[in-house]
Amino acid sequence: MEHLVSPSLLAADFCNLEKDIRMVNNSLADWIHLDIMDGVFVPNISFGFPVIEHVNKIAEKPLDVHLMIVDPDRYLSRFRDSGAGILTVQYEACTHLQRTVCEIHNLGMKAGVALNPHTPVILLKNTLPFIDMVLIMTVNPGFGGQSFIMESYNKIIELRKMIDEGRHDVLIQVDGGVDTTNAASLIESGVNVLVAGNSVFGSDDPAETIRRLKELS
């Protein structure tokens, strides 16, 4: 399938957020990525519900929402109501993961599960039939602008093999240090969805950077 690009608003200009969202609307991007951080699961705090709701009023692309929070089950319906179309929870934050992803589906959203760099992909073997996407964190979550962890390629290749051998309809997403220098290699390794923050919004021409990520040869 054609790969997808999901620019991360964590790297956008918060003083001109509407301008950046409209740029993404008019670009070749497929989704808009929102990192939700609570200051507990990760050492940073980002967007709350009012911001997501306002983003949703402007966005013309599906909201790809990644929860880096403790006890995400408390808020699943509120994220749906705020506009999330794809909702990804952290494996490490879910006590009853299968129940959580089934509830995400029951609420009408696509369900994803994210793995921190230290978490082996084999732990998702029995969860793959219940989800739509796996997010491989290629940096330690919490802050943008970090360097890509090269060992992530082995995880991606292993996960792609698990998905293909099980004939699961599951996308592989990567987030962290993704740019035009490694995007092609990531796609070749089995990635379906590229999340890019600093490499997009920190570039001289964000829409052109999105185009380059989307139109990889």
Which residues are tagged catalytic? 35, 175
Q: Tell me how far apart the 2 most distant CA atoms of the chain are, in Å.
A: 46
Look-up of token digits 């990889």: 216
Query: By the 8 A CB rule, do 125 and 97 touch?
Result: no
- Write the CB contacts of 107 (distance below 8 Å, at least 6 apart in sequence): 76, 77, 80
Q: Which of 55, 173, 178 is nearest to 46 (CA)?
A: 55
User: For residue 83, which amino acid is it?
Assistant: G
